[in-house]
Structure 1
Amino acid sequence: MTQPKKFALVTGCGQGGIGEALVTEYSRRGLHPIATVLPHESSDHLSKAGITFFPLDVTIEESITQLKASILELTGGRLDILVNCAGIAYTMTAIDTDVAAVQRMFDINMFGPMRMVRTFHPMIIAAQGTIVNIGSIGGIIPFIYGSSYNATKAALAHWGNTLRVEMAPFQSVLLPVISGEVRTNILKSDTHRTLPEGSYYSPLAENFKKHVLRTPEGATDRFKYASNVVAQSIRSNPPAWYWYGSFTGLTRFLDTFGWRTVWDSIMWKMFSLQTLKQAHVNQAKKTV
């Protein structure tokens, strides 16, 4: 007897991102991928690939409700895999944070998955399916200039950890992915960002500019990343946490065996904080 085709819904499938790579891989493995893109976002790359897609804004309840109606019609009420991939970045020092911008990021990165799970959990339970949350080593490492983004990913990891336990009685599983550096265009909307005038971090303004314009060295190819994540997501018993991507090995080791401040000296050197300290000391001397 032929097994019914499985459906995988992936949020955040704009061109050049992880979501696009994931739906491509699900298609390659014989599943029926369902992609979402923002209503104003181009979908040509999905049309050319023959991938089913729908518009979605994870911050708007009505948008999610409309998507649910479309998915119900398409799948008959079952959803085998839900991948919460939609996300944005916000690069800034913790002390210079624009709270309104961070609220928007939380609305997408954290509350978006919450809304999706609340809406689609009956379909996932019906299929004894899997929820995949795309997390980051940023939720573990005190990565400089990424405090707010890190906070969204730390929150997603810990919310998901409880969700995993709560879904177990329904024979549904959660796969939290702790992603390393992956070569995507997530920073495309952040490249304009500069330190505010008068910031205590102004001595590192050029370093900050280079940081937001960087292309991460040694980053994992997004299609290779997708191949490994998809392989885990279709297992009947995936790991409680799945670490994959550049620098995840080191991160996992130090997070497991290192002391709580093990990253401090690494960040200090990586982001030239000694230069900042000396500049602050010199400025203090001038004002005495």
Structure 2
Amino acid sequence: MAINAKKNVLITGCSDGGLGAALAVAFHEAGAHVYATARNPAKMKNLQAKGIETFTLDVMDDSSISAAVKKISHLDILVNNAGATYSMPFSDVSVKEAKNLFDLNVWSYVAVTQAFLPLLLESKGTIVNNTSIAGVVSVPYQSIYNASKAAIIAISAHQRMELAAFGIKVVDLKTGAVKSNIFQNMDQTQDRGTKLAKGSLYEPAKDQVESILRGDKVSSSMILASSWAENVVSQVLKPTPPHNIWAGGTALLGRVLAMLPTWLSDYLTKDAFGVHKIEKTLSKP
């Protein structure tokens, strides 16, 4: 999809192998001028090889955000994408890890958007917040991640309402299952990664639970990041983009589950993830 007037698009979290990188390529191929950013520019070599402009932006660092704002003079679309996941039964959650996740998945979105807001006011631009279907469906053993995405879904709704007076559009990108390096990153950056704590309530079903924590149950539903990104970009670049974009494997299923009665949604979700079997294992004397 080509666009007539070249749009300036800034995307956070564009390390190679991630969803941000896939979005950067899709916007670039659609004719936009892309500013692909990441905490470590050395991890964007594939994007640099395609001629995409890259620079440092650590969304957790106010000075880095301020420096990034000074690098551009015009911005049409801001894509808040940088983020991480955290899979762990609620009883084993590390509050430290939980706070770190909210700092990245929630407060960085707020800080980055506020910093680039003057440019978006000038262009009457678009804010795209990459949330997740997990923000509306209770995916088991990732309560903190789900909560962080639910928070951004709520913030997106308020941004849309409050910024409409200034001509700014807000897109809530509810992403489903997409192939990326997000689970590998969790193992590398978090204390226990996808391993249960010793003495966990779930130790009798350790193998079954850790399989869910690793994302094994959704791997077969994951679509290619390039396909997901092309779909997303084609919708964001519409003259009037949708308020909500549901994209990725299981996105349609997530949309349906979100509309069902809670008891039915819970039953179907638990069945899909094998939670009923885990419950039987845990109930054995």
TM-score normalised according to structure 1 size = 0.90
Work out whether residues 180 and 244 of structure 1, in 8 Å CA contact, stay in contact via their aligned partners in 2: yes
Distance 1:140 1:34, change over 3 A: same
Aligned position for 1:286: none
Deviation for aligned residue 1:262: 2.2
Aligned position for 1:43: 44
Distance 1:271 1:200, change over 3 A: farther
Aligned position for 1:260: 262
Aligned position for 1:224: 227
Residues 173-252 of structure 1 mapped to structure 2, 5 A cutoff: 173-191=169-187, 192-211=193-212, 212=214, 214=216, 216-252=219-255
Work out whether residues 89 and 143 of structure 2, in 8 Å CA contact, stay in contact via their aligned partners in 1: yes
**Distance in 1 of aligned mates of 2:59 and 2:177:** 24
Deviation for aligned residue 1:240: 1.5
Deviation for aligned residue 1:41: 4.8
Aligned position for 1:118: 114
Work out whether residues 41 and 54 of structure 2, in 8 Å CA contact, stay in contact via their aligned partners in 1: no
Of 265-274 and 26-35, more deviation after overlay is shown by 265-274
Letter in 2 for 1:94: F
Task: Please tell me the root mean square deviation across aligned C-alpha atoms, in Å.
Answer: 1.7
**Distance in 2 of aligned mates of 1:148 and 1:156:** 13
Deviation for aligned residue 1:186: 0.7
Distance 1:217 1:168, change over 3 A: same
Residues 48-197 of structure 1 mapped to structure 2, 5 A cutoff: 48-71=49-72, 76=73, 78-191=74-187, 192-197=193-198
Deviation for aligned residue 1:40: 6.8
Deviation for aligned residue 1:238: 1.2
> Deviation digits for residues 22-57 of structure 1, max 9, x if unmatched?
111111111100000113752211221111111111
**Distance in 2 of aligned mates of 1:246 and 1:150:** 17
Deviation for aligned residue 1:208: 2.7
**Alignment partner of 1:42: what SS?**
helix
Letter in 1 for 2:220: E
Deviation for aligned residue 1:249: 1.5
Letter in 2 for 1:282: K
**Distance in 2 of aligned mates of 1:279 and 1:241:** 39
Work out whether residues 41 and 55 of structure 2, in 8 Å CA contact, stay in contact via their aligned partners in 1: no
Of 98-107 and 236-245, more deviation after overlay is shown by 236-245
**Alignment partner of 1:59: what SS?**
coil
Letter in 1 for 2:264: V
Deviation for aligned residue 1:150: 0.7
Aligned position for 2:190: none
Work out whether residues 194 and 208 of structure 1, in 8 Å CA contact, stay in contact via their aligned partners in 2: no
**Distance in 2 of aligned mates of 1:229 and 1:181:** 14
Deviation for aligned residue 1:189: 2.1
Letter in 2 for 1:224: S
Deviation for aligned residue 1:79: 0.7
Deviation for aligned residue 1:197: 1.1
Letter in 1 for 2:258: D
Distance 1:169 1:48, change over 3 A: same
Distance 1:50 1:121, change over 3 A: same
Distance 1:110 1:54, change over 3 A: same
Deviation for aligned residue 1:263: 2.2
Letter in 2 for 1:254: L
Runs of 4+ in 1 over 3 A off after TM superposition: 270-283
**Alignment partner of 1:43: what SS?**
helix
Structure 2 gap segments, 5+ residues each: 188-192
Letter in 2 for 1:86: A
